[in-house]
Structure 1
Amino acid sequence: MSLGILGLKVGMTQIYDDQGIAIPVTVVEAGPCTVVALRRPEIEKYTALVLGFGKVKPSRLNKPLQGVFKSAGVEPKRWLREFRVDDVAGFEVGQTIDVSIFEVGEVVDVTGTSKGKGYAGVMKRHGFGGGPASHGASLFHRRSGSSGANSFPSHVFKGKTMPGRMGNERVTVKNLSIVAIDKENNLLLIKGAIPGPRNGLVVVRKKEG
């Protein structure tokens, strides 16, 4: 259970440290986020913050969501996410959460939705080697080969690596370090790659413990 922030993946670049070594970084436009609601143990049976991020027209929200923002007295937000925390003391509805909650060198976990690559075969999706390219191999160059058992148990087991939709999945990359913070522009420079396309929503969480 740890606090975090919502943001948009801007893209990748590189910066240089004091020794002139290039460091690949991903730029994330993180926040500012608004506290929309507080989850308390006496009501919801758990403790969490509900953060909102991104501008949206009220007409694009359904009536229940419009009621949530109206009762909270905050501007409508495009995305809402819960962050489980140990205690909500010190937080209040309408409070702003920005990149100042992080420090340079801090280790974080980043969650996003990976790029969708459509329907893919086993060579692209799972790294299969494919069949032989010659010596009588007909129409078997990129196929997966046999996938089932014999008369017993007579079915394909769950989890078998087969062709199918590739990407467009929730992915979390752990133990990434923050290289630099631009508080004026609400930017986090995170070492390494994070999931998702440009302008894709990501969640940056502080490392537990």
Structure 2
Amino acid sequence: MTEAKTPKLPNAVLGMKGAMCRLFTDTSELACTAVDVPLNSVVDVKTVKKDGYRAVKIACEGGKSNKAIGGIAAKAGMKSIKASREIRGEFSCATGDKIQIADVFEKGSLVSVTGISKGKGFASTRKRWNFKGGQKSHGQKDKYRSPGSIGSSSYPSRVLPGLKMAGRMGSDKVTVKNMKVASVDSANNKLYLTGAAPGSRGGLLVIKKLK
């Protein structure tokens, strides 16, 4: 039985969500999300001996860095660091290694995309949880959008934890799995993914290859 080879590069990159667009094939058209992928580099390698677990810390170039982050960027041969994330797993790479999108992804690859969903602010139960509201007849008054009773009568005489109520909606960490790579544009450092990626335009995305 042959042993599985340790991959050299991490199976993920960091990118910024771009606009939705269409890509045309011979038989159909695809709704895609364009993702701008700046230069990604390995900035740190975590080991079991030193850190207690195996992981690789990757970062994408851009923005301005303070002195502390600037020192980390200099060690990896980067001008500045816009964002960084840890990717769990064992990889045979070293600090300063560059990650090209063509080395990780190809057309048809399945990926998971993680981002922060759009914030909706303080939302009612009808928008946040799809409540129906109260009756619109039979003597009902000013209760069309009411959530109804939140207590439980005489027993247990308290509001149960986790009850669906009005509150802040959105700005959550969301992962969409099994998105497909529609196209890899290495010349312009862009990835095109079928479907809609989470978050607003310009938001950070972690794109991880599944298979």
Q: CA deviation at 1:71?
A: 4.7
- Aligned partners of 2:76 and 2:97 also within 8 Å: no
Q: Does 2:107 align with 1:99?
A: no
Q: Does 2:144 align with 1:136?
A: no
- Aligned partners of 1:33 and 1:51 also within 8 Å: yes
The aligned residue for residue 25 of structure 1 is 32
- Aligned partners of 1:118 and 1:167 also within 8 Å: yes
Describe the SS at the equivalent of 2:161. coil
Q: Does 2:49 align with 1:42?
A: yes
Looking at structure 2, the residues matched to 190 and 73 of structure 1 have their Cα atoms a distance apart, in angstroms, of 29
- TM-score normalised by L of structure 1: 0.89
The aligned residue for residue 124 of structure 1 is 127
The aligned residue for residue 190 of structure 2 is 187
More displaced stretch, 151-160 vs 163-172: 151-160
Describe the SS at the equivalent of 1:123. helix
Q: CA deviation at 1:73?
A: 4.9
Letter in 2 for 1:80: S
* Identical positions, percent: 37
Q: CA deviation at 1:149?
A: 1.0
Q: CA deviation at 1:76?
A: 2.5
The runs of 5 or more residues in structure 1 that have no matched partner are: none
Change (3 A) 1:16 1:113: same
Which consecutive aligned stretches of 4+ in structure 1 deviate over 2 angstroms post-superposition? 63-76, 132-136
Q: CA deviation at 1:127?
A: 0.8
Spell out, residue by residue over 1:96-143, the C-alpha distance to the aligned partner (whole angstroms, 9 max, x if none).
Answer: 112111011111000000000100001111111112234422110111
Looking at structure 1, the residues matched to 173 and 126 of structure 2 have their Cα atoms a distance apart, in angstroms, of 22
The aligned residue for residue 72 of structure 2 is 68
Q: CA deviation at 1:155?
A: 1.5
- TM-score normalised by L of structure 2: 0.89
Looking at structure 2, the residues matched to 32 and 72 of structure 1 have their Cα atoms a distance apart, in angstroms, of 12
Change (3 A) 1:32 1:74: closer
The aligned residue for residue 6 of structure 2 is none
Looking at structure 2, the residues matched to 182 and 66 of structure 1 have their Cα atoms a distance apart, in angstroms, of 29
More displaced stretch, 168-177 vs 132-141: 132-141
The aligned residue for residue 7 of structure 2 is none
Q: Does 2:176 align with 1:160?
A: no
The runs of 5 or more residues in structure 2 that have no matched partner are: 1-9
- Aligned partners of 1:9 and 1:200 also within 8 Å: yes
